[in-house]
Structure 1
Amino acid sequence: MQIKVTISNQCDKKEFLNAVRINGLLKYNLNKTSGKLKEPDIEIIRIARNKDGTIIGGASGSTYLSSLELEVMWVNENYRGQNIASQLLKEIESEAKAAGCHLAHLPLILFKPQSSI
């Protein structure tokens, strides 16, 4: 016996979020990771400061299901080439791994050259 369903776009974002992402997909994935995913949807921020306490770099990312998405990575030009970005990324990756993540997504950044008009 085939079950009759209706497919439509008639729902608001909150209803979709609660029914599909949280109570559907998230619960399913938490169960399938056998406890590896300890805490979903963590925002992770790390900053680097110079000896004067001025922020000279930072990175942020967030976890979803079993992956980390790196959203921001920046180091002041005067401090580049000193492995600061690597240290920031290592810290974020470490926290994401502790939360049960085993994948990382990096954003694709496209630069449009300035025209010479």
Structure 2
Amino acid sequence: MPIKKSYSLITIEGVRELIQSDQDFRCRYDLVGYAKDGRPSYNCVYIAPDGSEAILIATRASVGGVEPRKFNIWSGLFAHHFEFGDGTDLSFNKNYLVRTGDVQGRNEINK
């Protein structure tokens, strides 16, 4: 599914650098689709204090280019957020949208 917005790009190595340098950031998990078995999948967007956004991408490019990393709720999104997130709690609404602290994830499916 193509991303409908332009983002800066960040790899997991870039996230490690953010964490090690104690830079402030927030995470947002945008709903981008459903797997064949109905499980929702998400992209992770890192938000800087100035509001700039960077989407998490795979470290390696594929033949098709650079792709955003996709996460299922369990265990991918949970594991990622606990290790590389912003330290806030996760909550889910009935439409599978994710809230991290005061940041609400977006529904990128129905736009």
| TM norm structure 1 | 0.25
The structure carrying a bigger helix percent of its residues is 1
Structure showing greater Rg: 1
| TM norm structure 2 | 0.26
The structure carrying a bigger strand percent of its residues is 2
Query: Which of the pair has the greater relative contact order for Cα pairs under 8 Å at 6+ separation?
Result: 2
